[in-house]
Amino acid sequence: MSQKGSGPHSWHNKCGENNTTVVTRFEPGTASPSTMHHIQCPHDRSSFASLVHILASLDLHCALEPLRSQGIRSADQLENTPKAQLRSWIGDPAIDKLFNKSVARPRTRSDALVVHPYQRGSRAAASAVQGKSALEKADEAFQEDKFARSSRGPRESRWKLWCSLAEQRNLPPLPITVDLIDKIGALFKQARYRSAAQYYSVAKSEHRAQGFEWSPSLDHAVAQAVRSITRGMGPSAAKLDFPLESCSRSLELDIERAYASLQVPASSRIEAPADTGIVAAWFLLRGLEISSVVCEDVSFSREGLVKLSLPVSKNDASARGCSRTHACICSRQHDPGCNRSGDEGMLFTPLQQCSCSLGRHPLCPYHAALRCAIRLRKSGRWEPKAPFFGDGEGPPTKAQVVWLARVFAWVLCEGDLRDWPRQVVQRWAQHAFRVAGAQLFARADLDLHVIMLIGRWGSAAICRYVQEAALANPARAAQAVADRTSVLPSSSQTPRPSRLALLPAALDQVRAVFDTVQSVFLKRVRFQKSWHPGTIPTKIQVVKAMAAPVPFQTMCDQAAVHPTVRLLFKAKGVDVPGVLHHLFADRDKVAAFLDPLRAGIEIDGTTRCRSTEELLIDQATILELLDVIAASKAAATPVAAPTPAAANTAPSSAEKSQELPAGYWNDFVTDYESTVVDGRNRKFPAHLLLGAEKTLGRMVAEKKSGLFTALPLGEVLFSRHFTSSRQVNPFSATTKPETSTKLFAAEDGTLSKVTRGIPEPQRMVTMIDAFEACKFAFMFARWRPNAEVCDNFEFWEDLTRDNASRFAQIRQFWKKASWEMAMALRSGKTFAQAAAEVTSPQAKQDAMSRWAPPDRPTKGNEKGGEKGDKGPGKGKGKGKFGRPSPYWSQQGQQFQQQTWPQHQQTAGRPQCRLFAAGYCRFGASCKFAHGSQTQQQGNVPPPPSA
């Protein structure tokens, strides 16, 4: 072993005459042995004899000749040869034996799991299993490890009893039938078996192992049988523990006296029983885990921490292992009057040089484990693989652990057992330390989840261990309630603001929206002077009807709402029918609202809990209460004008007709990919449409009915799940959920969600992606053959590339062309004819020359034209985007005539059709050509007066 520094995280033991620091196990960052120095060799490691000795000790005689023929003549040469080269010479199994520093962890008990050291999976090792005997041995090892060793005995016992009971009923044990389940269940019921379900489980496993079929009717029969057997049986017996807090400083002597008083044989006694029990309780060890701890599993630090590494436990079948750490709870200081100092680390251990004991805590896990380690060191029994607990002859046996639990119970529960015979201690078993430790932590107010982590629990079984330990101090609960209620106002009626503070954020939003709607409607009433009493519109009467006080408790009485649910309403701030109506607009939320009552919720200082069956009744009563509120609202609303019906959550027939037909997607993809191009099948880009099934279903339905409609440019682009590069679409509603919701109030008082608008693409790549998505949507809906669709969208993509600064015009052009094409298809024209009409050169020129609002503000002061000589000032129109007024000033006309020569005014611009007809009112400011200057001056009518 090597020396280790005294860093902040060094783990060590203090032992020996000179108090040297000795590392008990290798930790990260420490020096480790050389590659093969773990193999002891009495010969010189540079000699051939060392190579022979190492290979013979590992039973690798067959590897000697291959290594010698390759020039390996000594242990040093073998150690310095790369593993990859050695693996090619002698194979994986031999490499594992040579370089594996550890061996399989020995079993401390017959029911313990064998923990194998880490090594690579080897195909050569699997190929080496040859011959009948080797294969049978492998099969036997495989079958044995299907169940833990600790469970094999109980399983065999349960199967033996099953066969015995079947023979008693004159029935074969297999195959299992409904009659056999009932006949054996009757015997289980008479014998009052609590674990009958485990017997049925073992029988089911044997039934399937023999090749018989297990049907659902057998599961139903087993469930009924277990229900009959356990009916009225009551709860299981509580786990027995002992109060560790009541131990004294002389716990070791008390346990020795208990051993003698109970006449425990010497073979059933354990060395250092007090320290062993304290460590087992703190680390919540099972009996098997106490026997499995070895010296290398325990390590210490100078800061007073003890760490226990458990390589295997009950719920760790793959032996991944875990570690737990506890700290010293002693006051490591000398007593007043002691003249020693500097050796506080040795206090309360066998190495202590003084008699100080005031700071020693009898339940300290650090010093209890440290005393066990020092005893092993001083007696020369410390080995990495040696048992940490026990008498030195071997690991603790099951009898020793059981009797240790019994003497602990005899010492710590002496007051309770005084009037009972000594045989009562036989009720304590080796799990008592695990129970006692869990209850110790619970009484110390440690969180239940932390106890589960310390004890490696993976289920709610911890509740059977903790039981009512957390209630051992009723004064703590009373003090908590007193502290909570001391800040409440003296009045029994909590003010409205305090109760509103209890509302969830959702209820606050509902109230805010409701108040806003009411204030808007009432303001409208105030400004209408011509209204007379009794003639206020229906909309206002609805709001006042909802705002008026409603006997909420009377409605709860009508719906038979349970008092516990009413208290939950009150705690959540639901005290008027309107809030409840809006809270459960989606009635599927009722179950989630009641779910806290399943596990129990504290209301008014009392824990309220409802069973599963009771929650079903509560859910039905709340739904009935909602119906009562809806009926009350309907009765209070005057029939003045028809109001829009409430939204129905079920899809309408029209919506169902626009869904994708079953199998349509697969049929289209198969048909699309059946076409061979350049010797291979086409690949359908499903990522371009995946997520837009609603739009595709509508288009397929329109193709079937002939009622075509326009396709918005960004509908497919912003609804699909992926981008064209197969990345997650950041604009999709599924990947970018809405953080806020806009609501509008209907006339009946219900709140409806504002429909989300379809965004429009703004950039070159997005525009092209949008047209590409629309192209495949047209092809998917089979509006026309693929070639015609591709030709049409090739025009749109080229138009986008050629006009990078006119995306607004392109979007308007697409919107107009899409509707014109839909109308043409409705009239019976073909897709090619409709596409040719809407994409004609004249239609393109008209669309691209129209003015459209820009996507974003442009650079410079272009509205006034005063800076940079950007052009004439625009009119003072009231448009949002500063569109030029048709009545430009004379100064602007002169500016244009002086700035642009005649050939620049007419060249490259289409002729103005209004000018040709004789009534163009824009004059020189018109963006179309008006012909020659003479014609322009003669034909331009004077601008109308403003």
Render 646-681 in DSSP notation, one character per residue: PPPSSPPHHHHHTSPPTTHHHHHHHHHHTSEETTEE
C-alpha R_g of the chain? 44
pLDDT of residue 218: 92
- Do 241 and 221 fall within a single domain? no
Distance CA 211, CA 208 (A): 5
Is the residue at 811 inside a domain? yes
User: Is the CA virtual torsion 540, 543, 544, 545 positive or negative?
Assistant: positive
pTM: 0.41
- Do 520 and 604 fall within a single domain? yes
Is the residue at 753 inside a domain? yes
User: What's the structural domain count of the chain?
Assistant: 7
Is the residue at 842 inside a domain? yes
- Torsion angle of the four alpha carbons 577, 583, 584, 590, in this order, in degrees rounded to the nearest 10: -110
Is the residue at 462 inside a domain? yes
Distance CA 568, CA 604 (A): 10
Strands 743-745 and 751-753: antiparallel
- Do 818 and 672 fall within a single domain? yes
Q: Where are the beta strands (DSSP E) in 560-705?
A: 601-603, 606-608, 676-677, 680-681
Is residue 610 within 8 A of residue 595, CB to CB? The reply is: no
- Do 807 and 770 fall within a single domain? yes
Q: How many DSSP H helices and E strands does the chain contain? A: 43, 11
Is residue 244 within 8 A of residue 435, CB to CB? The reply is: no
- Do 201 and 308 fall within a single domain? no
Is residue 332 within 8 A of residue 247, CB to CB? The reply is: no
Distance CA 539, CA 551 (A): 23
Element housing 378 (H / E): helix 365-378
- Do 299 and 285 fall within a single domain? no
And the tokens for 884? 């030029």
Residues of the chain falling short of pLDDT 50: 1-35, 37, 317-319, 487-503, 505-506, 517, 519-549, 639-650, 858-877, 879-906, 932-941, 943-946
- Do 623 and 688 fall within a single domain? no
- Do 263 and 241 fall within a single domain? yes
Task: Give me the residues paired with residue 327 across strands.
Answer: 305
Distance CA 428, CA 242 (A): 9
Distances (CA, A) of 256 to 199, 260, 266, 523, 879: 41, 6, 11, 89, 100
Is the residue at 854 inside a domain? no
Question: Nearest 5°: CA angle at 190, between 184 and 191?
Answer: 90
**Residue 189: other Cβ atoms inside 10 A:** 16
Is the residue at 855 inside a domain? no
Q: What is the three-class DSSP state of 443?
A: helix
Q: What is the three-class DSSP state of 713?
A: coil
What would the pLDDT profile of 153-210 be if each residue is shown by its tens digit?
A: 788 888 999 999 999 999 999 889 999 999 999 999 888 888 888 899 999 988 988 8
How many CA within 13 A on the CB side of residue 413? 21
Distance CA 805, CA 812 (A): 14
- Do 578 and 664 fall within a single domain? no
Distance CA 714, CA 716 (A): 6
- Do 327 and 251 fall within a single domain? no
Give CA 751 to chain center in angstroms: 32
Is the residue at 301 inside a domain? yes
Q: What is the three-class DSSP state of 234?
A: coil
And the tokens for 508? 């606050």
Distances (CA, A) of 69 to 44, 66, 89, 335, 716: 21, 5, 10, 71, 71
pLDDT of residue 396: 86
Distance CA 306, CA 294 (A): 14
- Do 435 and 537 fall within a single domain? no
Tokens 């064998």 — which residue? Answer: 114
Task: Give me the residues paired with residue 608 across strands.
Answer: 601
And the tokens for 211? 């090749």
Distance CA 389, CA 397 (A): 10
What would the pLDDT profile of 701-715 be if each residue is shown by its tens digit?
A: 888 888 888 888 888
Residues in the chain: 946
Residue 76, domain extent:
39-100
- Do 189 and 92 fall within a single domain? no
Of the residues 214, 230, 246, the one at which a domain ends: 230
Is the residue at 130 inside a domain? no
Check residue 677 and report its DSSP letter. E
Of the residues 451, 483, 515, the one at which a domain ends: 483
